[in-house]
Chains A and B, each alone.
Chain A
Amino acid sequence: DQQVKQNSPSLSVQEGRISILNCDYTNSMFDYFLWYKKYPAEGPTFLISISSIKDKNEDGRFTVFLNKSAKHLSLHIVPSQPGDSAVYFCAASAANDYKLSFGAGTTVTVRA
């Protein structure tokens, strides 16, 4: 049973514009959420995280928004750059449980 869902398998955006990636989860015990970026044949690289006590966390061009009532989070990348082209994974964990549940990923392509 997929507890973390990324319903958009791909996203194409023009350079300089905003990329918005969405993620939904079903487990109400999840309280920590992370976004990872992954290139082919490489391990994921940590981007940004947010705990359930916040609804927004910002780090440079990356901002994550959390809507607990909707069990939804999103990652905003602005402005999008060609180097942002990669697969982005949403992940979540529950309190006192270090296991991560991953979404299926969204492939972002930034067009010049």
Chain B
Amino acid sequence: GAVVSQHPSWVICKSGTSVKIECRSLDFQATTMFWYRQFPKQSLMLMATSNEGSKATYEQGVEKDKFLINHASLTLSTLTVTSAHPEDSSFYICSAMPGQGYGYTFGSGTRLTVV
């Protein structure tokens, strides 16, 4: 079946540093990938839509300069949290849709803790 691989699964970083999260579609090509953020006991909130070869589309209220998204190939999208602060600590999840009727496949998520 369609698999989306996300790395790292968890990361701890110091305040002010940047963290890159990778999302790869392993057995299909994904022209579009999605990045979500989940706070404890809350819903998954869409942050941005990542489009291969073009700029990402950010949801209202999401700082594009803080959450840099790059989708340079059909199988890889990256989310970089720049100048991370403790309030950026969250669970970040990517997803992609292998094709019509297959539903969305999610990565395993990345737990980011900024100290």
> Which residues of chain A have a CB within 8 Å of any CB of chain B?
2, 4, 9, 34, 36, 41-46, 49, 89, 98-105
> Which residues of chain B have a CB within 8 Å of any CB of chain A?
4, 6, 9-10, 32, 34, 36, 41-46, 49, 91, 93, 95, 97, 103-109, 111
How far apart sit A42 and B93, CA to CA, in the bound complex (Å)?
9
A104 and B43 in contact, given A34-B104, A41-B109, A43-B108 (Cβ under 8 angstroms): yes
Chain B contacts for A45, CB-based, 8 A:
106
Extra 5 A-B pairs, beta carbons < 8 Å, given A41-B9, A44-B93: A34-B103, A43-B109, A89-B44, A98-B49, A103-B43
A100 in complex: contacting residue of B34, B107, B109, CB < 8 Å: B34
Closest to A34 in B: B103
A44 in complex: contacting residue of B9, B49, B106, CB < 8 Å: B106
A43 in complex: contacting residue of B10, B42, B43, B106, CB < 8 Å: B106
